[in-house]
Amino acid sequence: MLKRQERARPRLLQAVIDSFRLPDLRGRILFTLGILVIFRFIAHIPLPGVDPEALRELFRTNQLLGMLDLFSGGAMRYLSVAAMGVYPYITASIIMQLLVPIIPRLQALARGGEAGRARINQITHWLTVPLAALQGFGQLILLRNQGVITAVGLSGEALLPTVAMVLSMTAGTMLLVWLGELITERGIGNGVSIIIFGGIVAGLPQMIGGAFLETGHVVGLAVFAILGLAIILAIVIFTEAHRRIPVQFARSVFRGGRMYRQSGSTHIPLRVNMAGMIPLIFAMSLMIFPGTIASYFANPAGQNPNLANHIMNLFAASGWLYWVLYFLLVVAFAFFYTMIIFQQQNMAENLQRQGAFVPGIRPGRPTGEYLNKVVMRITWGGALFLAVVAVAPFIIQQITGVQALTLSSTALLIMVGVALDTMSQMEAQLLMRQYEGFLR
């Protein structure tokens, strides 16, 4: 009778129930939720001397701060001790990924197995500290120029408060990185990604509620929701899509005192979207940078516009030129980052070392050239997908006329990617114990 009731339940609900039946898996889930609760408390501990009303107005008009607030999990709009979130750590990780193929010492560490990867991770943590301090000071200077905070500077009475605020923000970032690593070690999923995921999800109710209060365009909101769900479906499909490259291998076994050679086959899954959300971050940063620099030299409202004002208008996110350039940059960065990541894997060399080969392709350099061609072809699909997702918010707003609600492409990619990764890890835990999981 109990088995019949379990079969009648939806598979996802049954998988959740099975997850909480297992003591160790239940403990991992509760530990992850507990860390997220701690993170949300930290996100509401503000720095002193801030004008909350001026801060909210600034976030409504400044795109760069909106992007940084995305990675801080909403903590920056309160200017809390966790205002930078884990963004400096993500920046340090990207810098290390770009430096590994350039610096021979880092290449040797990357090929040194688990010990080498641990050393690179340690260097990434060291690099995060000065990046967090520089970013924290830069944010304080930007907020001072906007009239949100006053006691900021490197001289006089402002020195000590500035040092205290920068140290607090740097410590908040490192604390969040540590909490994320605790989730990775003792919880479920990638901890740093889940920290970002938790912040994005926490801000959704306020954003959706504000959209309903600010607009009476019910049909537009309905179309907006349908198109948003369609984008999420497309993200799921392209995130999971991959090209299987068949691989054969031969191994030697001893049987009855004699050596035999056995052959087998497997495949290499090459993801269509190998770059993830990184091209969006690169392209957005590059598009926002000119307007942000120009804002320091622009004339105030009511005065004759100068060159800086024209640059700000040119790179405003409300025009077609901005989104066309954004589309092209996302495609370019998708190819750039994908090739960097793929070259670091040394796939052809690893296959040759393990005695494996692609049928019909000679091992070594020909295999590497073949895999590069395949990656280039499938990356066209991933790059165009990322570019369409990047400009989708602007297109949806033009179609529906709903301006109060904004779908962030990066936020959607993060949420869907983290959800799929976490479900995959829970799936593996359940299948190890002969339960049906989430994704089957």
In this model, does residue 350 exceed pLDDT 80? no
pTM of this prediction?
0.74
Residue 186 or 9, more confident: 186
If you average pLDDT over residues 432-436, what whole number do you get? 62
Q: Can you tell me the distance from the alpha carbon of 191 to that of 90, in angstroms, rounded to the nearest whole number?
A: 12
CA distance readout (Å), 424 to 92, 114, 248, 421: 27, 23, 27, 5
Average pLDDT over residues 68-97: 76
Rounded CA-CA distance 38/149 in Å is 27
**Backbone φ/ψ region at 43: left (φ over 0), alpha (ψ -120 to 50), beta:** alpha
pLDDT band (50, 70, 90) for residue 79: confident
Indicate the fold that domain 217-403 takes in CATH.
Preprotein translocase SecY subunit (1.10.3370)
Confidence band of 178 (pLDDT split at 50, 70, 90): very high
**Residue 8: pLDDT band by 50, 70, 90 thresholds?**
very low
Distance from C-alpha of 254 to C-alpha of 229, rounded to nearest angstrom: 56
Q: Where are the domains of the chain?
A: 1-215+412-440, 217-403
State the pLDDT at residue 402.
58
pLDDT in tens, 106-136: 878 877 777 888 888 889 999 999 988 888 8
Residue 169 has pLDDT above 80, yes or no: yes
pLDDT band at 256 (very low <50, low <70, confident <90, very high): low
Fold of 1-215+412-440: Preprotein translocase SecY subunit (1.10.3370)
Fold matches, 1-215+412-440 and 217-403: yes
pLDDT at residue 129, as a whole number: 92
